[in-house]
Amino acid sequence: MTPLRPAVPVFCSIVPPHLLEHLARSSNPAVAAAARRTLVADASARTVRVLPLPGSAPTPAAEGGRPHRTIHDCGRGTDLPGAKVRGEGEEATGDATVNRAYAGLGATFDLFLNAYGHDSIDGSGLPLTASVHYDENYGNAFWNGEQMVFGDGDDEIFLDFTLPVDVIGHELAHGFTQYSANLEYFSQSGALNESVSDVFGSLVKQYALGQSADRADWLIGEGLFHPNVQGTALRSMKAPGTAYDDDVLGKDPQPAHMDDYVRTGRDNGGVHINSGIPNHAFYLAATELGGNAWERAGQIWYDVMTGGTLTPEARFSEFAAATVAAARARYGDAEEIQAVVKAWSAVGVPTD
């Protein structure tokens, strides 16, 4: 399969703009200032073209079957990638953030290779690059079409963005989507793009910890919030809409069912909000099947993303139908199909 590359720059962040906009209106001056600074940095990052120009040399692939990681330090500036501080196979540094980023890239590589035979996020051994200590009090992490970028947080709402390994997996999974189904980052296809990142981000965490579906917390970004925040994570796949409820942060707005689908012009049509619906469908399918979620449920989602049947503008119902077809193709008329159909039905999405 020839990897797909988007025609326009990619910017996919873990913290949605609606949450940062809410924080920017906070009565706490430090919180508001950090959120405004993050929004400005995000707006700037969205305008930077990072993909190779036509005719430029491609990035050389790493040796097959092993990661090729490079970590850079931005020194609290915004010039990317920053100074190289750790390469593949080099000893750990004295900077815990650098070491967590290195380990998280490796954990993501391991899931895709060992569970699905997918060599790096493009399937062809793409080197993995990350930059840490981005900007001052930067409250986000993002994939820009070429590399990962992590902020240190503001120590008021957000802590270091390398702390949760599923955040690292989530952002790298945007690269996986970019190179496979290339789902457009708008409306339902954009919410699917976000959901696929949450699915594989959660699977990275579960695989790294050896957790079965019934033991996993199904939280995205657990451990990212400052202890004073009334919340457990950015999102919950098990119970969308319950991840946080805080006086400063606001309340988690994610729906778990199509009856509550949010129609909005903000955040590219609510991609971070409505992703709760397909997120919950995956959780239901994975827990219904039991065992390790990266095996049968994860395999079905992986097959859909790499099968070449999705259009970039895919809607929830198209994706749902594709998961049923993928389950049938791999497992035949077995319990996997019933689990998938039942899961989508429970969130109000038809599969035929």
**Helix residue ranges, H only, 90-243:** 96-116, 165-179, 187-209
272 catalytic residue (yes or no): yes
The CA-based dihedral angle spanning residues 327, 328, 329, 334, taken in that order and rounded to the nearest 10 degrees: 90
Q: In the 8-state DSSP scheme, what is residue 170?
A: H
Task: Check: CB of residue 67 under 8 Å from CB of residue 109.
Answer: yes
What H or E segment, with its residue span, contains residue 329?
A: helix 316-331
Of 128, 116, 271, 284, the closest CA to residue 193 belongs to: 271
pLDDT-derived band at 239 (thresholds 50, 70, 90) equals very high
The single residue of 68, 72, 133, 171 carrying the catalytic annotation is 171
Which tokens hold the place of 239?
Answer: 């119970």
Q: CB count, 10 Å around CB of 121?
A: 25
pLDDT in tens, 71-111: 999 999 999 999 999 999 999 999 999 999 999 999 999 99
pLDDT in tens, 108-154: 999 999 999 999 999 999 999 999 999 999 999 999 999 999 999 99
pLDDT at 7: 37
pLDDT-derived band at 48 (thresholds 50, 70, 90) equals low
pLDDT at 3 over 70: no
Which amino acid appears at position 286 of this protein? A
What H or E segment, with its residue span, contains residue 344?
A: helix 335-346
What domains lie within the chain, and their CATH numbers? 12-179 (3.10.170.10), 187-346 (1.10.390.10)
Whole-number Å distance between alpha carbons of 149 and 3: 22
pLDDT-derived band at 38 (thresholds 50, 70, 90) equals very high
Distance separating the N- and C-terminal Cα atoms of the chain: 27
pLDDT at 58: 43
Burial (CB count <10 Å: 0-12, 13-18, 19+), residue 23: buried
The single residue of 68, 133, 170, 272 carrying the catalytic annotation is 272
Residues 6+ apart with CB under 8 A from 293: 202, 203, 206, 212, 213, 216, 286, 287
Residues 6+ apart with CB under 8 A from 106: 67, 69
**Average pLDDT of the segment spanning 289-297:** 98
pLDDT in tens, 153-188: 999 999 999 999 999 999 999 999 999 999 999 999
- How many Cα neighbours within 13 Å face the side chain of 101? 35
pLDDT at 59 over 50: no
Return mean pLDDT, the chain: 92
Burial (CB count <10 Å: 0-12, 13-18, 19+), residue 335: middle
